[in-house]
Amino acid sequence: MGRSGLLLSELSNAQYQSAVKKSELNIEFGLISVNVNSSFSQVTKTISELYRDYNVTLSSDWFDFNVSVEKPSNFRRFFRSQAVFKLDGHIPFKPLPSAHAYPLFEWGMNWCVASFYHRYLIFHAAVLEKNGKAVIFPAPPGSGKSTLCAYLALSGWRLLSDEMAVLDIETGNVLPFVRPICLKNNSIRLVEDWFPEAFISDVATDTQKGDVAHVRPPTDSVRRCGEGAKLFAIVFPQFKAGSTTEIFSMTQMNTLKMLVENAFNFDLFGHEGFEFISRKLPDLLLLEATYSNVDDLRTVLESEVQD
């Protein structure tokens, strides 16, 4: 039987290494439980650093996903070393260089949930909450979403997710899927300068997304991973260097169109999903924000979510 209420940081190194080796370490996210394993010491080290505040259970048979990052079983174990991601022992996509093993772990988990977890409506978006009001930030790559997400999460907003907005169409609430925040390229240095006390993983260079590092989520956000929030606003951010902060109202039609473009499983919910979104939009604040100064945008957003 697994143990409940145990933090990963409470495990001794010997307990932790043994659980990972035996595929008995399950990280509890509230939304799902993931059994993790890796033959890469850098992966196990980074997991212990980034997920130290998470509840874990020690069990080999009670989880939603069984994932691992391993060395391939061919000659590439020795020549130009590679890493493969496995779900239940199957390899769903091509291997990456071993130096990218940790980002592969995070990207693989995103893929698992987006591809197979269809209990809830899921969008590619960051979600943060302030004063009990959740704001969804859907955005394509290059919009500055994750930089903004890290800035807000480390400035007193509660992080629900950097990558996935999970909507319960029965309650209308946004559910947390708290994970490390993925930073890319110049954002890494920016967040280091803004928040020197934040823990940021080692940088994986020259990945398919450029240089990549992950920020440890705030402890309070992790501890509240079972606590949903009422959806208050949908904001489409767009970073433009040198621009002033400009906020525009979005129409419901354009918001719906952009949400569908950023959805992982909207088509699976069919008419039910369309009706849910159509009913919610009239009650929400719908905005598009162009900015270059994240603190200016934070000020605007906080004025909107005041009690």
Q: What is the pLDDT, as a whole number, of residue 3?
A: 41
pLDDT at 100 over 70: yes
pLDDT at 162 over 60: yes
Q: What is the pLDDT, as a whole number, of residue 33?
A: 95
Q: What is the pLDDT, as a whole number, of residue 80?
A: 74
| Stretch 40-53: mean pLDDT | 97
pLDDT at 2 over 50: no
Q: What is the pLDDT, as a whole number, of residue 134?
A: 97
What is the dihedral sign for C-alpha 45, 103, 71, 99? negative
pLDDT bin (cut points 50, 70, 90) of residue 235 is: very high
Q: What is the pLDDT, as a whole number, of residue 140?
A: 77
One domain, residues 102 and 131? no
**Of 84-93, 191-200, 270-279, where does mean pLDDT reach its minimum?**
270-279
Sequence-separated (6 or more) residues with CB below 8 Å from residue 291: 144, 237, 238, 239, 240, 243, 244, 245, 246, 297
Q: What is the pLDDT, as a whole number, of residue 125?
A: 95
Tell whether 1 is covered by a domain: no
One domain, residues 101 and 134? no
Strand runs labelled E in 17-140 = 25-28, 33-38, 55-58, 65-70, 82-87, 96-97, 121-130, 133-138
One domain, residues 102 and 177? no
pLDDT at 1 over 70: no
What is the dihedral sign for C-alpha 66, 72, 77, 79? negative
**Of 14-23, 134-143, 147-156, where does mean pLDDT reach its minimum?**
134-143
Task: List pLDDT tens digits, range 221-232.
Answer: 999 999 999 999
Tell whether 10 is covered by a domain: yes
| pTM, to two decimals | 0.93
One domain, residues 109 and 221? no
pLDDT bin (cut points 50, 70, 90) of residue 77 is: low
Instruction: Specify the number of domains making up the chain.
Output: 2
Q: What is the pLDDT, as a whole number, of residue 124?
A: 94
pLDDT at 258 over 60: yes
Alpha-carbon gap, residue 15 to 307, rounded angstroms:
45
Point out the domain boundary residue: 75, 91, 116.
116
One domain, residues 173 and 96? no
Percentage of the chain exceeding pLDDT 90:
89
pLDDT at 213 over 80: yes
| Stretch 29-36: mean pLDDT | 95
Could you tell me the residue range of the domain that residue 193 belongs to?
A: 121-304
Q: What is the pLDDT, as a whole number, of residue 74?
A: 65
Per-position b or e across 7-24, b if 16+ CB within 10 A of its CB: ebeebeeeebeebbeebb
One domain, residues 147 and 55? no
| Stretch 118-136: mean pLDDT | 96
